[in-house]
Amino acid sequence: MNDTSQSFVKFEKIDKSYDGEVLVVKNLNLDIAKGEFVTMLGPSGSGKTTTLMMLAGFETPTNGEIFLDTKPISKIPPYEREIGMVFQNYALFPHMTVAENLSFPLEVRKISKPDIKEKVQKALDMVELGNFGTRFPAQLSGGQQQRVALARALVFEPRLVLMDEPLGALDKNLREQMQYEIKHIHDRIGITVVYVTHDQSEALTMSNRIAVFNDGVVQQLSTPDILYEKPENSFVAKFIGENNTLNGVVREVNGSSCTVELDGGFGMVKALKINVNEVGEKTQLSIRPERVSIDNSASGSNNFSGKIEELIYLGDHIRARLDVCGNNEFIVKVPNEGSFNHKEGDQLKLSWNSEDVRALDL
């Protein structure tokens, strides 16, 4: 990714309101590079679909401008934007066959008949539906319809493809299979994709970068690993992956680390200073379950103990819910190495490294 292609799509100071009272999207600034797979992830009502619809041209930004290939596009109607889109429920036209659905964008572009035929066949082959051209959408399974929708969004060689929760209607196995397939197609043809989902594992699997939306604001925009390992605020920490929280007050700040006194007098915890600034501030500590060690050797800098509330056997690991420092939803994942022989009600010694604890906003 070089600098000239850095912002193929650029959202600049975008605000959006439907009723003039509530902002659905607040001051959105987002740059997407050419060829990138960017996912907008967030709970429903967080503004991610609205953002996508503004990009597609079905909603008008209340303020700000969207640039595509350095040109402002707010005044361009949707049918001239050359942006492909896969809709939530596919929006395949039921009165047309699969091939007719795929020819539609080519026909309205007045492409010659033989060319259309060739492009349609190529697109169908790409999604492995080469022999399904004469079927109607209703005669296809959900996964096949999904592929047709994908092929239709790509067949006219758009500059950009948008996908609005395209896998939401599929069952779990098919969803995972389609995730890989979409990822592979993206890798192969190198098209820019903006993907919307509320499923974090889907986002982690497919994306180059993820924009986490909440309350109309992008909370963090980063690669999947950074998002998971270094969340910048408590919303991201909670929304991506599993997360244990402990509340407290900052007592000491020391460069990039700090010391936090837990509420309820459970002691002091050393943590990374992420989203807190000064002594006396309230904070929420975030620790990933797999970073908590039940080793009794006390290697970590933070040592605590907790009562086992519940044990769930999950094959490769055992999931233990503990009561730690007043939080009885504290999850620890114990690898199944055959040596774990505690029962519910037992006390466990816990420890973790201070680098794995992040002091975030409350």
Chain residues in the site for another protein (CB under 8 A): 56-58, 77-85, 87-89, 91, 93-95, 104-105, 108-109, 152, 156
The residue (of 160 and 204) whose beta carbon lies closer to another protein is: 160
The closest of 61, 7, 58 to 34, measured between CA atoms, is 7
Q: Are 57 and 77 in contact (CB under 8 A)?
A: yes
Minimum distance, C-beta of residue 109 to another protein, in the bound complex (Å): 6
User: E-assigned strands of the chain?
Assistant: 9-17, 23-32, 37-41, 63-68, 71-72, 83-86, 160-164, 192-197, 209-214, 217-222, 244-254, 257-262, 268-273, 282-287, 302-313, 317-324, 327-335, 347-352, 358-360
Minimum distance, C-beta of residue 138 to another protein, in the bound complex (Å): 13
The residue (of 150 and 260) whose beta carbon lies closer to another protein is: 150
Distance CA(311)–CA(210), nearest Å, equals 33
The residue (of 109 and 184) whose beta carbon lies closer to another protein is: 109
Q: Are 249 and 263 in contact (CB under 8 A)?
A: yes
Minimum distance, C-beta of residue 18 to another protein, in the bound complex (Å): 12
Minimum distance, C-beta of residue 70 to another protein, in the bound complex (Å): 22
The residue (of 107 and 346) whose beta carbon lies closer to another protein is: 107
Minimum distance, C-beta of residue 347 to another protein, in the bound complex (Å): 56
The residue (of 42 and 105) whose beta carbon lies closer to another protein is: 105
Minimum distance, C-beta of residue 193 to another protein, in the bound complex (Å): 15
| Residue 69, token pair as written in the block | 């290939």
Q: Quick count: other Cβ atoms within 10 Å of Cβ 165?
A: 20
Q: Could you tell me what percentage of the chain is helix, strand and coil, using 3-state DSSP and rounding each to the nearest 5? A: 25, 35, 40
Rg (CA), the chain: 25
The residue (of 28 and 85) whose beta carbon lies closer to another protein is: 85
Distance CA(41)–CA(47), nearest Å, equals 10
